[in-house]
Structure 1
Amino acid sequence: MFPEYRDLIERLKGEGTHQRFLSLFEKHNQLDQQIAEMGNRDAGGIHTEIETLKREKLRLKDELYALLRQEAATAAK
């Protein structure tokens, strides 16, 4: 995710000081894992639930991207 910010992501994860980023990153990874597990099940009724989780994951990804852009801009100053 966001290869252009790979170093920044590693720094933020390593420092552990940006709690909002860490929380969003963790939740995004949890959703990713949950979607993968649900996709492996053979149950037609969970398609709607998977789509809902994917939308939430995308929302988190957008928020993470905004935070990364902001952090990168701050670091560049």
Structure 2
Amino acid sequence: MTIEHHDLHHEFPEFKDSIHRLKVDNHHFARLFDEYHLATSEVERLEGLGVPVDDLSIEDMKKKRLKLKDELYAMLREHRVS
């Protein structure tokens, strides 16, 4: 099974500089970034290993990751406009 990577640099390559700048300058962004990458790593690990996880659990993890991604994207867009 091929695992699709969902790290922010793959998801939003156009925001490479903003991602770096916000990680350094914005504590809230850095915390959300870390949470997002932990969630992404866990989902990818479970999917890659074929670890038996019930559908509801994996869906909850993916929903959490998506919520974090939406928050991060909003911050990136705002930063780019500023």
Shorter-chain TM range is 0.7 to 0.9
Instruction: Tell me which structure has the larger Cα radius of gyration.
Output: 1
- Structure 1 residue 8 corresponds to structure 2 residue 24: no
Q: Which stretches of structure 1, 4 residues or more, deviate above 3 A after TM superposition?
A: none
TM-score for the superposition, normalised by structure 1:
0.81
1:58 corresponds to: 66
- 5+ residue gaps, structure 1, are none
TM-score for the superposition, normalised by structure 2:
0.76
CA distance in 2 between counterparts of 1:69 and 1:42 reads: 36
- 5+ residue gaps, structure 2, are 1-10
Structure having the higher helix fraction is 1
Describe the superposition over 1:18-73 as per-residue Cα deviations: whole angstroms up to 9, x where unpaired: 01110111000000011112222341x42211111001101110100100111111
Aligned residues: CA RMSD? 1.4
Identity of aligned residues (%): 34
Aligned residues: 71
1:38 corresponds to: 46
